[in-house]
Amino acid sequence: MKISNKTARYALLHAQGFEKRAEPVTKWDVLQAIRQMGALQIDTINVVARSPYLVIWSRLGDYNPRWLDELHAEGYLFEYWSHAACFLPIEDYPIYRRRMIERSKTLARWYQVDSDIVNSVLDFVCNYGPVLSSSFPNLDKRAGGWWNRKPEKEALEYLFDLGMLMVKERRNFQRVYDLRERVLPDWDDSNVPSTDEMNKSLVLKSVKAMGVAKLTWISDYFRLDKTSTVTAVKQLLDEGELIQVEVDGWDVPAIVSSSFISELNVIEEMISNYHITTFLSPFDPVIWDRKRALELFGFDYKIEVYTPASKRIYGYFTLPILYKGGIIGRIDPKAHRKDGVMEIRSLHLEPRIEIDDELIFEVSKALRSFANWHGTPELLIKQAPFQI
């Protein structure tokens, strides 16, 4: 089977859930979106809506952000390390329980924790129930490990990494920790898959989430090591779960889930009718692999949060613009929530993009939707190549 690079690009968008919706959005659409992605990366930067909420908006449009919090608190989602720190569907917990066990072998090298503090924190949670990091006063003003965390925070994170504690919910986006046996009272470690089965599950999930993938893209999606990825891919090819296809212009075979082949016909039809315009979080699965974004979309993207202001090219927290199946530029937004203003400090289009009436209309409409969803209906455009 042979497909075009354009089809591969649309396959990614289709697999990621970018589709027109005729029915009103519900809370269960939020859960389904996360299941399609396989992981929803967590980040705390809030110049606009924090990334996990924004990633869902990009797919669903106007929805209630509280639904994500409710799904978490109701046990449909849990948190752990995946591509990075992520919200994950609870049905994937067995896979990540294996990852917890694997990580426990090397955690000591990453944490500087005193066993007495770890035990006292664990006893506190056992005796008093769910806690936040702020439940412990910061009596030690010295550095407490990574990011200058206080010792109790370091102990909470260590116990979370081990899987002894889980994040029960978030309050004002702060983690609330509780014992695993209270969050998942029916869990039994006899349900943990083998390391090989974990790797195969994550490889298959990553391919399904990308639609059409290069081998080099697969390991990054759930941060598997390359050797394990190659082994799992070979096993899944042998078992018929994955197949190889040819993509025009690619010097390596593409890998597709066998269950996704039937979708490729839908995607071919979708190309001529695809009119979704939206903005992507820097931590959206579509672009979190910057090399993949460059290869698939021809879009060279860098988040400039950590770049000194004087050296930034596009802005502090730019969001790529998705338009007609391509990434055509980026905006640099800031939500002034108290004033009800969405400031767009700049809007840059890629040099190859031709401006026409349809582009102006669609991008302008997306900007208004973006502003309204944030509760900042007044748009303030500082710099753009066309009139909004």
| Owner of token pair 């049905």 | 91
Residue 222 has pLDDT above 90, yes or no: yes
Nearest to 220 by CA among 306, 153, 290: 290
Mean pLDDT, rounded, of the chain: 94
Binning pLDDT at 50, 70 and 90, where does residue 146 land?
A: very low
Binning pLDDT at 50, 70 and 90, where does residue 138 land?
A: low
Residues in the chain: 388
In this predicted structure, what is the pLDDT of residue 150? 86
Average pLDDT over residues 263-282: 86
pTM of the complete model: 0.95
pLDDT digit string, tens, across residues 3-22? 999 999 999 999 999 988 88
Average pLDDT over residues 291-310: 95
* Domain chopping of the chain, boundaries: 27-191, 302-388
Residue environment code for 226-254, b if the CB has 16+ CB neighbours within 10 A, otherwise e: eebbeebbebbeeeebbbebebeeeeeeb
Nearest to 173 by CA among 49, 1, 10, 306: 49
Binning pLDDT at 50, 70 and 90, where does residue 144 land?
A: very low
CATH class of 302-388: alpha beta
